[in-house]
Amino acid sequence: MKINLKIPSLCLLLLAAFAMLGCNGGKNQPNIELIQDMMDQRALKSQKWDSLRNKPEEMVPPAHTVPRGFTPYPYHNQPLVAEAKLVNPYAGDKFQSTLKRGKDRFDIYCAPCHGFDGKGDGTVAQYMPLKPPNLMQDMVRKFKDGRIYHIITDGQGLMQPYDTQIYKASDRWAIVNYVRYLQKRTPDDGK
């Protein structure tokens, strides 16, 4: 006796199609949800009060706390102390990988204001009332590496701190090495 397999598979297909159509509420009607809250999930609002747990929905961290693995910068607003105490761990590192990383970070974060050659002629500098300094001038050349690192981390004058954008210390030191590379490559023009 032969069993025709086409009929049971056709029945299963029709049964599945009717089950899917049964979840539709009809034209201009909401869908019937088999599993509740799958289509309309409850979203957290950052400052909304959660009455079920009796606390804010998204807790604001307590004051003076830091995330795990975060080390606060110890020389905030102390450029001379930073210059004296910070030592470049990559000083003299002429490896292409370090210079390439420094150039990459410099081109992204520093070049818009300081220019690709560090001469203070970046694309945004023309719109600034107070122009960014030329990194090739003698005054900046005399800075210790720790001072340049501090300026990148903590900011100076109108320049805002870049510690949240360039959050890896190794990237900031790579930028310092790249600035030193530019300074050796470019003669001092006195500006």
pLDDT tens profile 127-167: 999 999 999 999 999 999 999 999 999 999 889 999 889 98
How many angstroms separate the Cα of 9 from the Cα of each of 19, 20, 76?
15, 17, 73
79 DSSP β-pair partners: none
CA 140 to chain centre: 28
If one counts the domains in the chain, the total is: 1
Query: 23: how many CB neighbours lie within 10 A of its CB?
Result: 10
Tell me if 137 sits within 8 A of 190, measured CB to CB. yes
pLDDT digits (tens, 9 = 90+) for 16-61: 777 666 666 667 776 666 666 666 666 666 666 767 667 666 666 6
Q: Which of 81, 65, 92 is nearest to 147 (CA)?
A: 81
Residue 125 lies inside a defined structural domain of this protein: yes
Domain presence at residue 40: no
Residue 56 lies in a domain: no
Residue 21 lies inside a defined structural domain of this protein? no
Strand partners, 50: 55
Residue 30 resides in a domain: no
Residue 7 inside a domain? The answer is no
State pTM to two decimals. 0.65
Q: Judge whether 59 lies within some domain.
A: no
Q: 84 lies in which domain range?
A: 79-185
For the chain, how big is the Rg over CA atoms in Å? 30
CATH of the domain at 115: 1.10.760.10
